[in-house]
């Protein structure tokens, strides 16, 4: 599906991780939403961001995209320090809220964001709408779409410029099971073509489709590894149970 | 009707409003501020400065009248000087070094009654009215003390426009400016707030779009509608289309039919520049609002003072002295003055006052746009 993303390496050579956080912190008053996170994430892999509500997933993504100013530490995407307006061309960000214009049609929304990323090619819009199976609703006013359809449109708007790095904040909430499977197949296709994807999710069967999981707790990455490794760390075969144990029990060192 | 449910609703409303500080301010503080300001303007308004020139064209008989008139005007607090002739008096009133000139005619002693001419500037009719009234009072005193013959006929002429012909000539430009400003602010403020609260601004900031591009794009978009609005408003104010009677309907005219001495196109440009400033003002103020209601709440705080102080209703010279410097920082002041220069005086770009007004409006528009794009960054912290 679609052409492979423009693999812009820019200043980041082969040895540079796709995403790097060094001592990243973000406080809101007394709340330490992100608390001293340092991670390197490799190119072409799918990373799952797990953790209970309020553990700092969205805040971490906003820091990496450069939308929030860190209280301390720094973030790099493709070897470029964030925030960098120019580097945003190579990043797709699907927010947790839909963030689409309700009075525009689906196609108008997608082509607006395409233009914001400097894409003029109309086929990019058509392809993005194809991926989320909204081609037949392209001229529907967004406010009249169903909740799941709006979510899909929001994803299309994040994919439309074929970025080499994708941040997806709970992309499949409200999306039906069949489409959810197709989404993940598409994510895998993108990753195989070199796209680095960071997905936050609360759905455990989705977590199992990731190459690696980062488990967040109170603003920290409290565990990191494959699904199997997290299961082993939590001492259970059930990832759901592992999630609960990792959320409640004493902190487990990865 | 369930008491419990009603009570739950009542408590919810009270809680919500209590947490919405701007609403509380609107409810309790705004009325006090606005009525207080209005009272202050009406009660403590400055009696306008009168710098009068007397031109005596009647020779010896006029000297006595001029002296009496001078005394009577000085009793009113005016400064009075003699001018050599009508031409120099007109020049002084035109360049505002004198506020009023009194011309004593050559036939002052012979005519029954003589006609005295009062000359004012004409740009702001309500300010002129105060000048004319002061001279008329002074004449009454002179006539009473002299007690000889009939009181003179007093004729009022102006440098620009025609005195007291149509009050709308001076009032309409002020209203056009105010409403363009008001509606453009409201429209932009509310839509930009939606951009913030709807999550699309967050999304937009994750694209390579620059803040300056956002402000420029908004200015162009809302500028288009502002332009159409201003064009329609001006056509409505200036135009007068006679509709002939149709059947039982009597003939009527569409449009206010206000005379414009100058170029409508120039008037249009002045209002468009003002409106572009209002777009950025809307973006800027929406930073401080959380809800659409709060955007509306800025009206009594930001727009009403401008309405009261920028010369729309009250001449700036009649405002309390402490408030007068405030008018210099209000864009509406320059728009109202610029439009009056065009409507009443027939000013074109050769007139320095109009050039200055336009220049200040452009500076305001650029300044607001800069501040607006800075606040977009601040929001995404
Ligand atoms: N703008 C903000 N102002 C104040 N506190 C904030 C702000 N944004 C986030 N927080 C706080 O930071 C913490 C982490 O929030 P965050 O949205 O990152 O959590 P999350 O892991 O994405 O949760 P969820 O699974 O519910 O989406 C929370 O306690 C939240 O209340
Ligand atoms: Mg979140």
Closest-lying ligand 1 atom to the alpha carbon of residue A62: 18
The predicted structure's pLDDT at residue B148: 57
Interface contact B208-A99, CB threshold 8 A: no
In a domain, B13, yes or no: no
The predicted structure's pLDDT at residue A254: 44
Report which DSSP code applies to B48. Answer: P
Angle (deg, nearest 10), helices A147-159 and A106-116: 30
Enclosing domain of residue B361: 167-380
Nearest Cα residue to atom 25 of ligand 1: A53
Are B253 and B361 part of one and the same domain? yes
At B332-368, the pLDDT tens digits run 999 998 988 888 888 888 888 889 999 999 999 999 8
For chain A, give the percent of residues with pLDDT over 70: 92
Among A5-19, A97-111, B146-160, B229-243, which stretch is predicted with the lowest mean pLDDT?
A5-19
Interface contact A88-B208, CB threshold 8 A: yes
Please answer whether residues B49 and B99 qualify as being in contact, where contact means their C-beta atoms are separated by less than 8 angstroms: yes
Chain A partners of B202 at a C-beta cutoff of 8 Å? 67, 95, 97, 99
**Higher per-residue pLDDT: A79 or B148:** A79
Residue A248, pLDDT above cutoff 80: no
- In whole angstroms, give the CA distance from residue B139 to residue A248: 95
Q: Which of B158, B183, B203 is the last residue of a domain?
A: B158
Res. A105 pLDDT band, cuts 50 70 90:
very high
User: Up-side HSE of residue B302: CA atoms within 13 Å toward CB?
Assistant: 19
Are B145 and B225 part of one and the same domain? no
- In whole angstroms, give the CA distance from residue A182 to residue A163: 19
Interface contact B206-A101, CB threshold 8 A: no
Q: With the C-alpha atoms ordered A29, A35, A41, A45, is the resulting torsion angle positive or negative?
A: negative
Q: Which of B131, B158, B185 is the last residue of a domain?
A: B158
Q: With the C-alpha atoms ordered B311, B314, B318, B322, is the resulting torsion angle positive or negative?
A: negative
Nearest-CB residue to B199 (from A85, A89, A97): A97
Are B81 and B114 part of one and the same domain? yes
The predicted structure's pLDDT at residue A250: 57
- In whole angstroms, give the CA distance from residue B359 to residue B347: 15
Three-state SS at B169: helix
Full DSSP string of A42-60: -TT-EEEEE--TTSSHHHH
Please answer whether residues B158 and B122 qualify as being in contact, where contact means their C-beta atoms are separated by less than 8 angstroms: yes
Interface contact A85-B202, CB threshold 8 A: no
In a domain, B37, yes or no: no
Residue B146, pLDDT above cutoff 70: no
Chain B partners of A93 at a C-beta cutoff of 8 Å? 203, 206
The predicted structure's pLDDT at residue A102: 92
Are B114 and B195 part of one and the same domain? no
Shortest CA distance to A219 belongs to which of A82, A49, A65? A49
Are B135 and B218 part of one and the same domain? no
In a domain, B23, yes or no: no
d(CA A251, ligand 1 centre) in Å:
20
Chain B interface includes A115 (CB < 8 A): no
Residue owning tokens 């100058």: B262
At A135-175, the pLDDT tens digits run 999 999 999 998 888 988 999 999 999 999 999 999 988 88
At B5-61, the pLDDT tens digits run 888 889 988 888 888 777 787 778 888 888 888 888 888 777 778 888 888 888 887
Interface contact A116-B209, CB threshold 8 A: yes
Shortest CA distance to A149 belongs to which of A166, A162, A137, A157? A137
Q: Closest chain A residue to B217 measured between Cα atoms?
A: A116
Closest-lying ligand 1 atom to the alpha carbon of residue A61: 18
Residue B269, pLDDT above cutoff 60: yes
- Ligand of minimum distance to the alpha carbon of A67: 1
Find the angle CA(B66)-CA(B69)-CA(B74) to the nearest 5 degrees.
125
In a domain, B141, yes or no: yes
Pairing of strands A19-28, A91-94: unpaired
Report which DSSP code applies to B244. Answer: P
The predicted structure's pLDDT at residue A64: 93
Q: How far is B195 from chain A, CA to nearest CA, in Å?
A: 8
Are B125 and B179 part of one and the same domain? no
In a domain, B279, yes or no: yes
Total domains present in chain B: 2
At A77-93, the pLDDT tens digits run 998 888 888 899 999 99
Please answer whether residues A155 and A94 qualify as being in contact, where contact means their C-beta atoms are separated by less than 8 angstroms: yes
Please answer whether residues B50 and B99 qualify as being in contact, where contact means their C-beta atoms are separated by less than 8 angstroms: yes
The predicted structure's pLDDT at residue A212: 92
Interface contact A95-B207, CB threshold 8 A: no
d(CA A26, ligand 2 centre) in Å:
14
The predicted structure's pLDDT at residue A158: 93
The predicted structure's pLDDT at residue A84: 86
Res. B242 pLDDT band, cuts 50 70 90:
confident
In a domain, B109, yes or no: yes
Q: Which of B98, B129, B158 is the last residue of a domain?
A: B158
Q: Closest chain B residue to A66 measured between Cα atoms?
A: B206
At B181-213, the pLDDT tens digits run 888 888 888 888 888 888 898 899 899 988 888
Are B203 and B136 part of one and the same domain? no
- Ligand of minimum distance to the alpha carbon of A56: 1
The predicted structure's pLDDT at residue A176: 87
Are B59 and B133 part of one and the same domain? yes
Are B75 and B114 part of one and the same domain? yes
Pairing of strands B100-104, B51-56: parallel
Are B192 and B336 part of one and the same domain? yes
The predicted structure's pLDDT at residue A16: 86
The predicted structure's pLDDT at residue A223: 83
Q: How far apart are the first and last CA of chain A?
A: 36
Nearest Cα residue to atom 12 of ligand 1: A33
- In whole angstroms, give the CA distance from residue B282 to residue A74: 34
In a domain, B57, yes or no: yes
Pairing of strands B51-56, A31-41: unpaired
**Contacts for B8 with CB less than 8 Å, ≥ 6 apart:** none
User: Up-side HSE of residue B348: CA atoms within 13 Å toward CB?
Assistant: 2
Res. B149 pLDDT band, cuts 50 70 90:
low
- Both tokens of residue A17? 């991780």
The predicted structure's pLDDT at residue A156: 92
- In whole angstroms, give the CA distance from residue B354 to residue B347: 7
In a domain, B24, yes or no: no
Extract long-range pairs of A207-210: CB within 8 Å, 24+ residues apart. A207/A48, A207/A50, A207/A239, A207/A243, A208/A239, A209/A46, A209/A48, A209/A184, A210/A46, A210/A47, A210/A48
CATH classification of the domain holding B152: 3.40.1710.10
The predicted structure's pLDDT at residue B381: 42
Provide the mean pLDDT of chain A. 86
Helix (H) or strand (E) holding B93: helix B86-94
Closest-lying ligand 1 atom to the alpha carbon of residue A57: 21
Are B207 and B249 part of one and the same domain? yes
Averaged pLDDT for residues A174-197: 89
Res. A241 pLDDT band, cuts 50 70 90:
confident
**Who lines ligand 1 at CB under 6 A?**
A 28, 31, 33, 51, 53-59, 96
- In whole angstroms, give the CA distance from residue B191 to residue B292: 9
Look at chain B and count its residues.
381
Closest-lying ligand 1 atom to the alpha carbon of residue A216: 21
Please answer whether residues A164 and A4 qualify as being in contact, where contact means their C-beta atoms are separated by less than 8 angstroms: no
Q: With the C-alpha atoms ordered B152, B155, B156, B160, is the resulting torsion angle positive or negative?
A: negative
Are B332 and B254 part of one and the same domain? yes
Interface contact B198-A101, CB threshold 8 A: yes
At B280-319, the pLDDT tens digits run 888 888 878 878 877 887 887 778 888 888 888 888 877 8
Chain B interface includes A221 (CB < 8 A): no
Measure the CA dihedral B107/B109/B112/B115, to 10°: 50
């Amino acid at each position: 599906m679609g052409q492979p993303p423009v693999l812009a390496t820019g200043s980041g050579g082969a040895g540079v991780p796709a995403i790097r956080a060094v001592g990243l912190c973000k406080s809101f008053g007394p709340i330490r939403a992100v608390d001293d996170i340092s991670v390197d994430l490799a190119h072409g892999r799918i990373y799952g961001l797990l953790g209970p509500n309020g553990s700092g997933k969205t805040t971490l993504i906003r820091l990496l995209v450069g939308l929030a100013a860190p209280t301390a530490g720094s973030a790099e995407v493709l070897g470029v320090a964030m925030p960098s307006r120019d580097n945003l061309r190579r990043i797709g960000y699907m927010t947790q809220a839909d963030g689409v214009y309700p009075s525009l049609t689906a196609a108008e929304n997608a082509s607006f964001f395409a233009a914001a990323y400097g894409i003029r090619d109309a086929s990019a819009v058509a392809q993005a709408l194809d991926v989320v199976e909204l081609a037949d609703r392209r001229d529907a006013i967004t406010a009249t779409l169903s909740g799941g359809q709006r979510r899909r449109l929001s994803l299309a708007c994040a994919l439309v410029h074929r970025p080499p790095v994708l941040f997806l904040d709970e992309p499949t909430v409200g999306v039906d099971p069949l489409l959810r499977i197709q989404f993940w197949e598409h994510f895998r296709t993108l990753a195989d073509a070199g796209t680095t994807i960071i997905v936050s999710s609360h759905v455990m069967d989705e977590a199992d489709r990731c190459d690696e999981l980062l488990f967040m707790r109170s603003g920290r990455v409290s565990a990191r590894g494959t699904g199997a490794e997290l299961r082993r760390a939590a001492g259970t075969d059930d990832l759901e149970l592992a999630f609960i144990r990792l959320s409640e029990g004493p902190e487990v060192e990865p | 009707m369930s008491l419990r449910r009603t009570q739950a609703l009542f408590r919810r409303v009270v809680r919500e409003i209590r947490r919405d500080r701007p609403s509380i301010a609107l409810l309790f503080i705004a009325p006090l501020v606005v009525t207080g300001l209005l009272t202050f303007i009406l009660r403590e308004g400055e009696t306008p400065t009168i710098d009068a020139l007397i031109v005596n064209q009647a020779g010896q008989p006029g000297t006595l009248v001029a002296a009496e008139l001078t005394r009577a005007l000085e009793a009113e607090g005016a400064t009075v000087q003699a001018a050599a002739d009508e031409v120099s008096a007109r020049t002084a009133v035109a360049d505002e070094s004198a506020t009023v000139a009194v011309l004593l005619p050559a036939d002052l002693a012979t005519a029954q009654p003589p006609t005295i001419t009062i000359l004012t500037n004409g740009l702001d009719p309500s300010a002129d009215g105060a000048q004319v009234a002061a001279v008329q009072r002074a004449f009454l005193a002179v006539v009473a003390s002299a007690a000889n013959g009939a009181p003179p006929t007093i004729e009022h002429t102006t440098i620009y426009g025609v005195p007291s012909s149509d009050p709308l000539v001076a009032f309409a430009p002020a209203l056009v400016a105010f409403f363009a400003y008001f509606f453009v602010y409201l429209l932009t403020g509310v839509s930009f707030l939606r951009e913030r609260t709807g999550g699309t601004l967050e999304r937009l900031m994750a694209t390579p779009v620059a803040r300056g591009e956002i402000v420029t794009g908004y200015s162009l978009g809302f500028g288009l509608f502002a332009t159409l609005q201003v064009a329609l408003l001006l056509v409505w104010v200036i135009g007068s289309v006679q509709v002939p009677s149709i059947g039982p309907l009597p003939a009527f005219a569409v449009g206010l039919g206000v005379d414009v001495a100058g170029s409508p196109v120039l008037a249009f440009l002045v209002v468009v520049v003002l409106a572009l400033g209002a777009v950025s003002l809307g973006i800027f103020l929406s930073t401080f609002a959380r809800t659409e209601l709060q955007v509306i709440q800025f009206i009594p705080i930001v727009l009403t003072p401008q309405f009261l102080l920028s010369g729309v209703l009250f001449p700036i010279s009649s405002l309390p002295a402490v408030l007068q410097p405030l008018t210099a920082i209000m864009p509406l002041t320059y728009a109202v003055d610029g439009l009056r220069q065009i409507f009443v005086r027939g000013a074109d770009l050769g007139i320095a006052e109009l050039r200055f007004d336009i220049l200040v409006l452009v500076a305001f528009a650029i300044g607001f746009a800069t501040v607006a794009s800075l606040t977009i960054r601040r929001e995404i912290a």
